[in-house]
Structure 1
Amino acid sequence: MLRRQIRERREFIYRKSVEHKQRALQEKRDIVRNAVDNNGSLPTHLKKEALELVEGSYWGDQDDTVDDEYRWAGCEDPKVVITTSRDPSSALKRFAKEIKLTIPNSQTVNRGSHDVKSIVQACKGANVTDVVFLNETRGVPDSLIVSHLPHGPTCFFSLNNVVMRHDIPHTEHMSEAYPHLIFHNLDSKVGKRVTTILKHLFPVPKPDSKRVCSFTNTEDFISFRQFTHKTGEGGEVELNELGPRFELRPYSIILGTVDIQKACDSEWSLRSYTNKKKNILSVE
Structure 2
Amino acid sequence: MSTSRFEPSSIKNKVKREEVARKQKKQKRQDKLQRRLAQAKVEADDPVAKKKRREQNVPRTLDNTREFDPSFLTANSASSSSTTAQPEASSSSNVPDHGQAHPSEHQPQDESAADLANDSFASYFSGVADPTLPPKVLITTSPKATRVTYDFCDELVNIFPGGEFIRRKKGKGFEMGRIAGWAAGRGYSHLAVVNEDMKKPNAVTIVYLPDGPTAYFKLTSIELSKKIRGHARPTEHFPELVLNGFVTRLGHSVGRLFQTLFPPMPEFQGRQVVTLHNQRDFLFFRRHRYAFRSTEKVALQEIGPRFTLKLRSLKKGLPAVKNLGEPSKTLEFDTFEEGTEDVEMATNDPKEDGKGEEEVDKQVEVEPKSKKAVPPTEDEYQWIWKPELETTRRTFFL
TM interval, shorter chain, is: 0.7 to 0.9
Letter in 1 for 2:166: V
The correspondence of residues 138-157 of structure 1 with structure 2, limited to 5 A, is: 138-157=198-217
Q: 1:264 to 1:138 in 2, by over 3 A?
A: closer
Give deviations 1:218-247, integer Å, cap 9, x for gaps.
211110000000210363111110111000
Q: 1:142 to 1:206 in 2, by over 3 A?
A: same
The correspondence of residues 149-188 of structure 1 with structure 2, limited to 5 A, is: 149-188=209-248
Matched, 1:252 2:313: yes
How does the TM-score come out when normalised to structure 1? 0.73
For 2:144, the equivalent position in structure 1 comes to 87
- C-alpha contact 1:81 1:107 (8 A) present in aligned 2: yes
- C-alpha contact 1:217 1:281 (8 A) present in aligned 2: no
Matched, 1:274 2:389: yes
Give deviations 1:39-93, integer Å, cap 9, x for gaps.
xxxxxxxxxxxxxxxxxxxxx8698352352233142331110000112111000
Counterpart selection for 2:185 from 121, 125, 128: 125
- C-alpha contact 2:239 2:268 (8 A) present in aligned 1: no
Give deviations 1:174-201, integer Å, cap 9, x for gaps.
1211111111111012111111111111
Counterpart selection for 2:303 from 242, 260, 265: 242
Matched length: 225
Give deviations 1:244-278, integer Å, cap 9, x for gaps.
10000001001111244762321111012225332
Counterpart selection for 1:67 from 110, 115, 118: 118
Shift of 1:96: 0.3
Counterpart selection for 1:213 from 268, 271, 274: 274
- SS of the residue aligned with 1:69? coil
- C-alpha contact 1:254 1:261 (8 A) present in aligned 2: no
Q: Structure 2 unaligned segments of length 5 or more: list them.
A: 1-69, 71-76, 78-109, 321-374
Shift of 1:171: 1.5
C-alpha distance in 1, partners of 2:220/2:278?
14
- C-alpha contact 1:189 1:281 (8 A) present in aligned 2: no
Matched, 1:99 2:161: no
Matched, 1:111 2:168: yes
Q: Structure 1 unaligned segments of length 5 or more: list them.
A: 1-26, 28-33, 35-59
Give deviations 1:131-150, integer Å, cap 9, x for gaps.
00001111221101000111
- SS of the residue aligned with 1:134? strand
- C-alpha contact 2:319 2:379 (8 A) present in aligned 1: no
Give deviations 1:109-129, integer Å, cap 9, x for gaps.
110223323322220210111
Identity over aligned pairs, percent: 23
C-alpha distance in 1, partners of 2:184/2:254?
22
Letter in 2 for 1:240: Q
- C-alpha contact 2:177 2:318 (8 A) present in aligned 1: no
Counterpart selection for 2:197 from 134, 137, 145: 137
For 1:198, the equivalent position in structure 2 comes to 258
C-alpha distance in 2, partners of 1:132/1:124?
13
Larger relative strand fraction: 1
- C-alpha contact 1:186 1:195 (8 A) present in aligned 2: yes
Letter in 2 for 1:233: S
C-alpha distance in 2, partners of 1:210/1:281?
31
- C-alpha contact 1:156 1:252 (8 A) present in aligned 2: yes
C-alpha distance in 1, partners of 2:219/2:232?
24
